[in-house]
Amino acid sequence: MDRRWLPLNALRAFEAAGRHRSFTAAAQSLLVTQSAVSRHVIGLEDLIGIPLFERKPHQLALTDAGRRLLPVVTRAFDRIDEALEEVRAERAGPRRSLRVALPHTFAHQLAVPILKDFRAEHPDIGIDIDSRIVSGPMERGADVAVIYSEPKVTDRVLDLLWMVRLTILCHPDVAARAEGTDLGRFLAAHDLLHVRLEDRPKTYLWEMVTRTAGCPEVKVDRGLVFDTAQMAVQYALSGEGLALVDPLLFQAEIAAGRLVRPFDLMIDDGYGYYLATDPDDLGDTAVSVFRSWLIRRFSAPPFAPERRA
C-alpha cells in the first residue's frame, strides 16, 4: 500500500476499539464521537476487504483478521510514541525501551534476577516486562519474547535457549517417604501437581512419567492443576504434592534444600524455551543487543547442553 494513502486515523480508531472492545469506550479515549470511530473502522474494513470485528448486541469481538492486525498496529503506535518521547527528552540523552514478553515462571525465577546485569551493561536501554499468561502474534506485540514451545516452523526467528527436561520435585518431608518404595507406589500415594499446557490434556506430562518409569497402571488423573510451574512448586513447598518441573528453573530452592528429587528420573517433554524475534526487528540495535545478551547468558552452564547429564 502506498504510504500516502495509509489510513492513520482509521488505524487509530481500530486500535482503540480493539483495545477497549467497544466503539463507545474507543470514542471516549480518542475524544471523538462513536459514529466517527465506527465510520473509520468500516472504512478500514472496506479498504482491506475483510471484517475486523464481529458486531453483536452489546458485544464487540475481534475476528481472526482483527486479532492478527491489532498487536501489530498497537506495537507500531507504541513505537511512534516512544520515539517521540525520546526526541522530546533528547537533552536527557537517548533512551530506547524494549517490550519483552516472558513466561511467568521463567521471568520470576530466572530473568528478573539477572536483568540488573543487563541494565549495568546497557543503561540506555529500558526494559518493559510482560509476563501475563496470554499468547498471540509475537506475544502481544512485544519487541522480544521468550516462549515455551515445541520445535516448530514460524515466520519469527527462534533461538533455542535450552531444551526442557523434567524431574519430580517435592518437599524434603515428602521425599523421605520414598525410601523403601518404588516410583509407582510413591506416585499413587501423593497428590500430582499438573501444569497446564496449551492444546494438551492435563495428564499429558505425568503420563509420560509413568510410561518412562514402566508403571503405566498408575492413575494420574487426580491432584491439582495450576497455570504455571511456579504455582505448582509453591504448593509443593507447603509440604504436599509432587511437582513435575524443570529443575533449572528452581536452582535456588534445590540448593537451599527446600526442594528435593525423590527419584533420579529425568524426562524430555519435547518442549524448549525459545527466544522469538520478528525478522524485521533484527536491525534494531536495542533488540539485537538484548537478543545477543540473552543468548549468551543461557549458552553458559548449567543451561549448556553438555552439562545436562
Average pLDDT over residues 23-49: 91
Residue 138: predicted pLDDT = 47
Residue 12: predicted pLDDT = 92
Check pLDDT > 70 for residue 93: no
Check pLDDT > 90 for residue 126: no
Average pLDDT over residues 255-271: 93
Check pLDDT > 50 for residue 306: no
Check pLDDT > 70 for residue 94: no
Average pLDDT over residues 49-64: 89
Average pLDDT over residues 87-108: 77
Residues 6 or more apart whose Cβ sits within 8 Å of residue 168 = 209, 242, 243, 244, 261, 262, 263, 265
Check pLDDT > 70 for residue 119: yes
Tell me which of 88 and 117 has the higher pLDDT: 117
Check pLDDT > 50 for residue 267: yes
Mean confidence (pLDDT) of the chain: 88
Residue 218: predicted pLDDT = 92
Residue 308: predicted pLDDT = 41
| % of the chain with per-residue pLDDT over 90 | 61
Check pLDDT > 50 for residue 102: yes
pLDDT in tens, 181-233: 899 999 999 999 999 988 889 999 999 999 998 999 999 999 999 999 999 99
Q: How many CB atoms lie within 10 A of CB 298?
A: 21
Check pLDDT > 50 for residue 60: yes
- pLDDT band for position 1 (cuts 50, 70, 90): low
pLDDT in tens, 131-184: 876 555 545 578 899 999 888 888 889 999 999 999 999 999 999 988 888 999
Residue 190: predicted pLDDT = 93
Residue 4: predicted pLDDT = 65
Delineate the domains of the chain, giving CATH numbers in brackets.
3-72 (1.10.10.10), 95-158+272-307 (3.40.190.10), 163-271 (3.40.190.10)
Residue 178: predicted pLDDT = 86
Average pLDDT over residues 94-119: 87
- pLDDT band for position 95 (cuts 50, 70, 90): low
CA 282 to chain centre: 20
